[in-house]
């Protein structure tokens, strides 16, 4: 990591620091009258909860680099012992993030209702890599990494318990991962669609009120998805959530600036609808209440490597491969391991953005380290590569051959309602340009690591035990019946 | 020891008080002024309320009490901090041994409220009332009457009528608090400061000067209400009490506000790295001098500031150069600075080394500012009245008072109104 990229937030000031409390505005040209609304004009006045001896001060006059409370780490300056609350800490992303942040010196708190474990089990599936109970995970983290993590089993929908915990913890950053993350699950039947919308939309909305009332200076890292944008057939670039300043709408001979407006959303399932609604809720809360948030439009995530996870198998994060809970790269590797054809929906030319678990954790950490200013809502496209599903299948098959596997690829009837041929131009510049992100993992290396892990006997047996859950059954149309196989072949070496 | 009532009327010029007393706008003041002595007084340098009130209550100049303005850089850094009771390093008169129980209300620079014998409610800048009250158990009652340390300046944007209504509201609650707490016990010392007068003068000075303005009478009415409150106070004081009334600076018309840092940047003395919200930490090492509100000039000295490169050897030459520059500079053809004073000539005391190197005295109707936002040399502002160094008010009536100096200054107030106490402290 270069010196420059590790210090992306060196020049940020106390105005974006969650340890600082807004006190008012003064105008010393007129003897210091105070205005207590953040929207007012005048010299900003803040106090630091950590360094009260400074008294009132201009938040622009201290940078993270010059503040004794911010410590330099490989992911930029981090507020020493920053209190980070991870909602959904038991999940695929939540647990590795907890380990990474704790290792970096954050005080990590987490909640989860353990729903994911229940839903996966109900599906007849399981994590391919065995995972411990939360109690044992925390003990393993203490033993193998020397970190303390605090956890409460709280449902995001239990607002009384959630708010009480927020009040108790006084988080300086809140990571919202506590959502049901499956498109096919949300399309399976009415109960699952409603459960997804309820948890994701209503849960996030409730959270925003809790932050407003109990931790208004905490930055909110909200996990969205690239699927919120859809794949516009016009080829319009997928900007990072907001139109750039020079974007213009032309209509009937007139022009209007679009700069700063939310870009169009075209979700591709009720799960994605829930994510879009979450985006609007967060966007509005930042506007109404001066909350602050980064909305992370994450590409399809894959892999199971992080420096902390590999310290011991008791620290495993969950790794799902079934139709509902697995993501495409992870599923393809699992299929390849057990000699099952890699299932491509329709033409396989659907383009998507991708990112490894390891890179995603770095991105989220860098966002936590560089909080938005009060009232600021911003969006990042958390993507490193863009591939078609067909490309991925071919690359996985190719790498599978390195492990002695003779991998087949199979096109099947597309269970989804989606464009199969479409342009796809993803803008993903902010994380690298503004947050110093540099990818630490390449597609092929990560897939090789997966082959190594999943070809272990226990993992292979766990894949075989849930073989029936791998082939897709959930149709967006609501129709039932086995999806037709259109074509099966072995990609050329 | 005679009891003391010290009334502060922020920003009330001596000549205006006399004028309003004579014209009938302030009838209670007329009888008060005729019973004692009113003289013009010089303010602090620069003529800002924070430094001036600190001088009034301590008898020191800024070199003695460490308040040079509303803001200061924390030593060895570029952190722009606001002066407060924590940075205020001289004892106010109520904190000295033997001062007796005191009721101190709305004195600037007393936030956060420090423990003392009696009761204290801080004056501006005090953005959190919960920490502005000693003893803290008095907070709840003050909250119940919607006590505010200061008016909300942003109401100016909603119009002068709304703004003045806010000033009346704040004054009414403040006076209610004074009389409520006055009754609690026999106080040895009372100090009570009205600050709405200063706010009114800043934003409605043009209406005072323009008798045809629809807000001219609004201006007079506010002073009339101040006078009503003075009358209520006088009713409760007998001849055994030393009564003093002071303002911290005078007032005059302001036609424009010039950002001194813009002048310094244009002339190459100040260089900032690009920033959306520039502050002192954005100064580049090539910066040789910078300003802080209103016209305090600091050399970017090596050893005093982390990136400073101005050496002791070059300081004198630079100060001479800057003095010539400021006296010569014109904005829209008009002079900006009438006089440049040297900090070492102005300040004395244990904190004189923290003083600005130069103090600019504004010319004519010009006001000075030292903001780091360099987007406007002449700033857009609704402010049309400015402080003056001369012509603040000093009134005193009593049987045990000291001699009033011919060149009365804010740091002389205690010498006159508490001569024995000051003498005994000096002897000690």
Task: Report yes or no: A37 at the B interface, CB cutoff 8 Å.
Answer: yes
Residues A65 and A122 in one domain: no
- Cβ under 8 Å to A: B residues 78-117: 78-82, 84, 86-87, 108
Listed range (A29-43, A65-79, B283-297) with the worst mean pLDDT: A29-43
Report CB contact under 8 Å: A58, B203: no
Same domain, A95 and A112: yes
Q: What CATH number is attached to the domain comprising A413?
A: 3.40.50.720
> Which two tokens mark B209?
């000067």
Query: Residue A58: closest CA among chain B residues belongs to which residue?
Result: B80
CA distance B166 to B176: 15
Output the CA–CA distances (angstroms, integers) from residue A27 to A374, B71, B82, B129, B153, in the order listed. 20, 11, 12, 19, 8
Question: End-to-end CA distance of chain A, in Å?
Answer: 35
d(CA B126, nearest CA chain A) in Å: 8
Whether A27 has a pLDDT exceeding 90, the answer reads no
Could you tell me if B225 and B171 are in contact, meaning their C-beta atoms sit under 8 angstroms apart?
yes
Last-in-domain residue among A76, A101, A123 = A76
Please indicate, yes or no, whether residues A90 and A66 belong to a single structural domain of this protein: no
Task: Kindly determine whether residue B281 and residue A26, on different chains, have CB atoms separated by under 8 Å.
Answer: no
d(Cα B200, Cα B383) in Å, to the nearest integer?
10
- Which of A39, A44, A60 would you mutate first to test chain B, the one with the most B CBs within 10 A? A60
Residue B380 contacts A where some CB pair is shorter than 8 Å: no
Q: How many CB atoms lie within 10 A of CB A246?
A: 8
Both tokens of A141, joined, read: 């983290």
pLDDT above 70 as % of chain A: 97
Q: Longest Cα pair distance anywhere in chain A, in angstroms?
A: 80
Cβ atoms within 10 Å, residue A236: 13
| B119 phi/psi in degrees, rounded to 5 | -130, 140
Write down which residue in A43, A76, A109 finishes a domain. A76
Q: Report the pLDDT averaged over residues A119-124.
A: 95
Asked whether residue A69 falls in the same domain as residue A86, the answer is no
The tens digit of pLDDT for each residue in B104-162 reads 999 999 999 999 999 999 998 888 899 999 999 999 999 999 999 888 888 888 999 99
pLDDT tens-place string over residues A370-382: 999 999 999 999 9
Which stretch of DSSP H or E encloses residue B328? helix B312-328
CA distance A357 to A354: 10
Are both A8 and A120 inside the same structural domain? no
CA distances from A47 to A14, A50, A412, B118, B134 (A): 9, 9, 61, 27, 20
For residue B329, what pLDDT is reported?
Answer: 98
Which domains can be identified in chain B, with CATH numbers? 3-252+388-427 (3.40.720.10), 256-369 (3.30.1360)
Average pLDDT over residues A167-172: 98
B220 within 8 A of B21, measured Cβ to Cβ: no
What is the tens place of the pLDDT at every residue in B147-196? Answer: 998 888 888 889 999 999 999 999 999 999 999 999 888 999 999 999 99
Residues A49 and A101 in one domain: no
Average pLDDT over residues A105-125: 97
CA B33 from chain centre, in angstroms, equals 23
- The chain-wide mean pLDDT, for chain B, equals 96
pLDDT surpasses 50 at B416: yes
> Are B71 and A58 within 8 A, CB to CB?
yes
Question: Taking CB atoms and an 8 Å limit, are B124 and A33 in contact across chains?
Answer: yes
Q: What amino acid positions of A are annotated as catalytic residues?
A: 225, 271, 275
Chain A: give the shortest CA distance to residue B85, in Å.
Answer: 10
A63 CB neighbours in chain B (<8 A) are 281
Sign (positive or negative) of CA dihedral B220, B225, B226, B232: positive
Q: CA-nearest residue of chain A to B153?
A: A33
Q: What is the pLDDT of residue A253?
A: 96
Rounded to 5°, angle at Cα A447 from A445 and A452: 95
List own/partner pairs for A401-405 with CB under 8 A and 24 or more apart. Answer: A401/A493, A402/A448, A402/A451, A403/A451, A403/A452, A403/A455, A405/A336, A405/A337, A405/A339, A405/A451
Strand B250-253 versus strand B330-331 pairing type: unpaired
Q: Are strands B189-194 and A173-176 parallel, antiparallel or unpaired?
A: unpaired
pLDDT at A35: 64
User: Cis omega (within 30 of 0) on the bond before B46?
Assistant: yes
Contact of A30 with chain B, judged by CB distance below 8 Å, is answered with yes
**Given an 8 Å threshold on Cβ–Cβ distance, is A26 in contact with B125?**
yes
User: Smallest Cβ distance to A34: which of B84, B86, B152?
Assistant: B152
Instruction: Check whether residue A360 and residue A406 sit in a common domain.
Output: yes
Residue A104: give the domain boundaries. 81-489
Q: Answer whether A54 sits within 8 Å of B293, measured CB to CB.
A: no
Beta partners for residue A78, in sequence order: A71
B72 touches chain A (CB under 8 A): no
**Separation between Cα atoms, residue B208 and residue B215, nearest integer Å:** 8
**Partner A, chain B 334-363, Cβ-Cβ below 8 Å:** none
**CA distance, residue B388 to nearest chain A CA (Å):** 13
Q: Show which of A59, A76, A93 is a domain's final residue.
A: A76
Of the candidates A41, A53, A60, the beta carbon closest to that of B154 is on: A41
Please say if the pLDDT value at position A361 is more than 60. yes
Q: What percent of chain B has pLDDT over 70?
A: 100
Cα B154-B155-B161 angle, rounded to 5 deg:
155
Shared-domain flag, residues A72 and A85: no
Each residue's pLDDT tens digit, B39-59: 999 999 999 999 999 999 999
Which residues, 6 or more positions from A221, have their beta carbon under 8 angstroms from its beta carbon?
Answer: A173, A174, A175, A176, A293, A294, A296, A364, A367, A368
CB contact under 8 A, A29 and B294: yes
In angstroms, the separation between the Cα of residue B154 and the nearest Cα of chain A is: 6
- Whole-model pTM? 0.89
Chain B residue with minimum CA distance to A57: B81
Cβ-Cβ contacts under 8 Å, B82 against chain A: 26, 45, 55-57
According to the model, what pLDDT value does residue B126 have? 86
Q: ∠ at Cα A312 (A310, A318), nearest 5°?
A: 70
Average pLDDT over residues B349-353: 97
Residues A99 and A2 reside in one and the same domain: no
Domain identity same for A35 and A178: no
pLDDT, tens only, B192-220 = 999 999 999 999 999 999 999 999 999 99
- Residues 62-101 (A) with a CB less than 8 A from some CB of B: 62-63, 66
Q: How many CB pairs under 8 A join A and B?
A: 127
| CA angle, A478 then A483 then A486, to 5° | 140
- Pull the structure tokens for residue B280: 């002192």
Tokens of B8: 């502060």
Do A263 and A141 have their domain in common?
Answer: yes
For helices A159-169 and A203-214, the axis angle rounded to 10 degrees is 40
Tell me the CB-side half-sphere exposure of residue B81, using CA atoms within 13 A. 22
Res A34: pLDDT: 61
Shared-domain flag, residues A91 and A70: no
What's the domain count of chain A?
Answer: 2
Which chain B residue has the Cα nearest residue A37? B154
C-alpha span between B194 and B173 (Å, rounded): 11
In tens, the pLDDT along B268-323 reads 999 999 998 899 999 999 999 999 999 999 999 999 999 999 999 999 999 999 99
Distances (CA, A) of A233 to A228, A230, A389, B244: 15, 9, 18, 80
Q: Is B219 on the interface with A (CB under 8 A)?
A: no
Range B223-242 average pLDDT:
96
For residue A57, the chain B residues in CB contact (below 8 A) are: 74, 79-82
3 state SS of B331:
strand
Contact A55 B86 (CB under 8 A): yes
């Amino acid at each position: 990591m270069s010196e420059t990229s590790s210090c992306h937030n060196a020049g940020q000031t106390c105005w974006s620091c969650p340890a600082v409390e807004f006190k008012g505005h003064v105008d010393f040209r007129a003897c210091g009258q105070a205005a207590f609304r953040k929207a007012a004009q005048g010299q900003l006045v803040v106090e630091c909860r950590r360094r009260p001896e400074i008294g009132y001060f201009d938040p622009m006059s201290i940078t993270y680099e010059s503040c004794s409370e911010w410590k330099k780490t490989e992911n930029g300056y981090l507020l020493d012992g920053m209190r980070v609350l991870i909602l959904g800490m038991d999940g695929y992303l939540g647990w590795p993030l907890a380990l990474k942040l704790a290792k970096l010196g954050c005080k990590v708190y987490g909640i989860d209702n353990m729903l994911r474990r229940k839903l996966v089990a109900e599906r007849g599936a399981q994590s391919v890599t065995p995972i411990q109970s939360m109690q044992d995970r925390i003990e393993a983290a203490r033993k193998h990494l020397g970190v303390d993590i605090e956890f409460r089993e709280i449902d995001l929908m239990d607002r009384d318990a959630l708010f009480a915990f927020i009040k108790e913890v006084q988080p300086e950053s809140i990571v919202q991962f506590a959502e049901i993350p499956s498109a096919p699950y949300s399309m399976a039947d009415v109960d699952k669609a409603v459960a997804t919308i309820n948890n994701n939309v209503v849960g996030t909305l409730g959270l925003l009120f809790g932050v407003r009332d109990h931790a208004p200076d905490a930055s909110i890292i909200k996990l969205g998805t690239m699927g919120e944008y859809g794949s516009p057939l016009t080829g319009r670039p997928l900007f990072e959530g907001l139109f750039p300043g020079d974007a213009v709408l032309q209509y009937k001979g007139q022009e209007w600036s679009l700069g700063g407006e939310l870009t169009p959303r075209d979700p591709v399932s009720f799960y994605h609808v829930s994510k879009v609604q979450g985006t609007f809720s967060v966007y509005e809360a930042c506007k109404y209440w001066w909350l602050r948030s980064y909305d992370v439009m994450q590409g399809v995530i894959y892999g199971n490597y992080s420096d902390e996870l590999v310290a011991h198998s008791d620290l495993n994060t969950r790794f799902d491969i079934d139709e509902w809970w697995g993501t495409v790269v992870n599923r393809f590797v699992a299929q390849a391991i057990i000699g099952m054809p890699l299932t491509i929906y329709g033409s396989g030319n659907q383009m998507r953005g991708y990112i490894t678990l390891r890179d995603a954790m770095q991105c989220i950490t860098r966002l936590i380290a560089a909080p938005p200013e009060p009232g600021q809502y911003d969006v990042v496209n958390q993507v490193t590569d863009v591939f078609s599903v067909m490309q991925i299948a071919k690359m996985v098959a190719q790498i599978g051959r390195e492990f002695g596997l003779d991998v087949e690829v199979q096109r099947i009837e597309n269970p989804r309602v989606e464009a199969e041929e479409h342009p796809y131009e993803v803008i993903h510049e902010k994380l690298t340009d503004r947050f110093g992100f540099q990818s630490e993992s390449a597609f092929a290396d990560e897939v090789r690591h997966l082959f190594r892990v999943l070809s272990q006997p226990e993992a292979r047996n766990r894949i075989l035990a849930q073989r029936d859950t791998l082939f897709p059954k959930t149709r967006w149309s609501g129709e039932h019946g086995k999806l037709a196989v259109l074509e099966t072949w072995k990609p050329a070496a | 020891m005679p009891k003391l009532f010290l009334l502060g009327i922020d920003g009330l010029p001596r000549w205006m008080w006399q004028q309003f007393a004579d014209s009938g706008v302030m009838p209670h003041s007329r009888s008060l002024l005729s019973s004692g002595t009113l003289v013009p007084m010089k303010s602090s340098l620069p003529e800002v309320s924070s430094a001036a009130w600190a001088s009034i209550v301590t008898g020191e100049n800024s070199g003695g009490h460490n308040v040079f303005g509303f803001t200061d850089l924390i030593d060895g850094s570029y952190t722009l901090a606001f002066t407060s009771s924590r940075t205020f390093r001289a004892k106010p008169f109520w904190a000295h041994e033997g001062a007796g129980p005191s009721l101190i209300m709305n004195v600037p620079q007393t936030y956060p409220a420090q423990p003392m014998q009696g009761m204290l409610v801080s004056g501006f800048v005090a953005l959190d009332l919960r920490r502005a009250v000693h003893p803290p158990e008095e907070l709840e009652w003050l909250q119940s009457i919607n006590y505010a340390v200061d008016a909300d300046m942003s109401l100016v944007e909603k119009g002068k009528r709304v703004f003045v209504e806010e000033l009346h509201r704040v004054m009414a609650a403040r006076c209610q608090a004074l009389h409520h707490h006055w009754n609690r016990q026999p106080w040895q010392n009372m100090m009570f400061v009205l600050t709405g007068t200063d706010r009114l003068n800043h934003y409605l000075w043009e209406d005072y000067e323009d008798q045809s303005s629809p807000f001219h009478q609004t201006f007079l009415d506010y002073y009339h209400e101040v006078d009503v409150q003075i009358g209520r106070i006088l009713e409760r004081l007998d001849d055994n009490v030393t009564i003093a009334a002071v303002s911290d600076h005078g007032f005059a018309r302001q036609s424009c506000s010039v950002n001194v840092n813009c002048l310094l940047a244009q002339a190459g003395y100040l260089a900032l790295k690009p920033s959306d919200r520039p502050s002192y930490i954005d100064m580049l090492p090539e910066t040789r001098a910078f300003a802080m509100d209103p016209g305090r000039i600091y050399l970017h000295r090596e050893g005093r500031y982390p990136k400073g490169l101005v050496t002791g050897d070059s300081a004198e030459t630079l100060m001479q150069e800057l003095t010539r520059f400021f006296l010569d500079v014109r904005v829209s053809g008009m002079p900006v600075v009438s006089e440049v004073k040297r900090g070492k000539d102005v300040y004395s005391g244990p904190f004189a080394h923290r003083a600005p190197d130069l103090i600019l005295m504004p010319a004519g109707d010009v006001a000075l500012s030292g903001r780091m936002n360099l987007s406007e040399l002449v700033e857009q502002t609704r402010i049309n009245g400015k402080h003056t160094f001369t012509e603040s008010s000093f009134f005193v009536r009593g049987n045990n008072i000291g001699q009033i100096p011919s060149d009365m200054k804010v740091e002389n107030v205690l010498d006159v109104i508490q001569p024995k106490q000051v003498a005994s402290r000096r002897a000690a």
